[in-house]
Amino acid sequence: MRPALLIMLLLTGLARAQEVPLSALGDLALTYADASTLDRVPGAPLRGVVRARGGEDYRVLLPRTAHRATFVVVPGQPVAAGDPVVRLEGPEIHHWALEFEAITDRYALAETRYQRNKPLYADGALPAERWTAIQDSYLETGLEYEHMRHFGELLLPDDDEDTLLVGAPIDGLLQFDSRAPAREERAVLFSVIPGDALRLQVEVPVDRAGDLRSLTVGDCQLSIASLDRAADGFFVAAWSAPLAGACRWTPGTVLSVRPAYGADALELPRAAVFQWQREPHVFVHDGDRLQARPVTVLADTAGGYAVAREPGIAASRVLISSVSAVQGILLGLGSD
C-alpha cells in the first residue's frame, strides 16, 4: 500500500473516531448550551497591599531631635487640617521654637530694610555694593525663614511653653509607626494620606502585566489606574483606582486579590468539558452527529471555564448533559 494512501486512511479513521452519530445515542437525554463571549478572564490570586503611591502622602519632618513625641491620635485615624496630632518635648525642640521666633524678627527687619532701600537704589542714591549686601541679607534670611515657616505653620497654641503641639497639614488618614515613632532630626514624624490617594497595590507577573484590566476583592471590583514600566525581578507594580465606600480598607491591610486579564475567550459550562486523549474536549453539535473538539482552558470562572476562542465552538452549541455516556461511546468507537 502506498504511504500517501495509508496516511489518508489513518486520518480518516481518526476523524471518525472523534465523531459520534446521534443515531448511536439511543434514548440519551441531550441538552445543549451556547458559549458566551468573554473579553477578560480571571487569574491566579495576587497579594495586595492598601497604601498610597510614593509621593502622594503629605510628610511632616522633625525640625530637631525630640526627646519625646506624644501622639494624641492613632495610626489610620481620619484627621482634618489643623487637628492636633503630636506633642514634642526636649531641649532641642525648645531651642527650635526660640530660633524660629528670632528668625521671624530678623526676616521682618531684613524685609523692611530691603523695601526701604529699593527705591533709593533705583534712583541711584544708594551705592551698588551696599544694595547688594542688603539684597543678599534679605534673600538669605528669607530662605532660612521659609524653611522653618513650613513647620511653624503646623504649630498649634499650647499651654506648655516647653513643648510644641503639631497639627495635621491636610485632611486625610494619619500614618506613623506607633512601634517606633521618629525622634531624630529630619526624620518623618508622620504623614497624612489624602482621601483620594489610598489605593490597592499588587505585584503582577511581567508577562501578564500588559493584559491586566481589573482587581477584585470580595464584592469590590477596582479598575487599574496605573502600571509601572520598570520591573522588580519578575514582577511589575500595578495600582488600582482610589478606594472609596465599602472598598476603603485600613492602610497597610494585606488582601488576597483576584486579577482579571484581557483576553479573546469563550465561557463554557463546567459540565461541557471532559478529558479525552489527555486533553480537555467538548462535544459540538454538528448536524446529525457530535464532534469532540479540543479546547484550551484559560481559567475557572463563576459560570464554568474560560477557554481560548475557537470559531468552530463559538458558532456552535455544546453538549452539557449525558457527556460521560457519550464519551464512553466515543471511546468504544475509537477502539474499533
pLDDT above 90 (res 329): no
Query: If one looks up domain 46-54+195-262 in CATH, what number appears?
Result: 2.40.30
So where are the chain's domains? 3-39+264-334, 46-54+195-262, 58-193
Query: If one looks up domain 58-193 in CATH, what number appears?
Result: 1.10.287.470
Hey, what CATH topology would domain 3-39+264-334 get?
2.40.420
Inter-residue contact 281 to 293 (CB < 8 Å): yes
Q: How many CA within 13 A on the CB side of residue 72?
A: 12
Give me the DSSP letters along 136-194. HHHHHHHHHHHHHHHHHTTEE--S-TTEEEEE-SSSEEEE--TTS---STTSEEEEEE-
222-265 pLDDT, tens per residue?
999 999 988 888 999 999 999 999 999 988 899 999 999 998 89
36-94 pLDDT, tens per residue?
888 889 998 999 999 999 888 999 998 888 888 999 999 989 999 999 999 998 888 88
Report how far apart, in Å, the C-alpha atoms of 77 and of each of 20, 151, 209, 283, 301 are.
67, 21, 34, 58, 38
Residue 203: band (very low, low, confident or very high) from pLDDT cuts 50, 70, 90 = very high
The grid coordinates listed for 235 are: 514582577
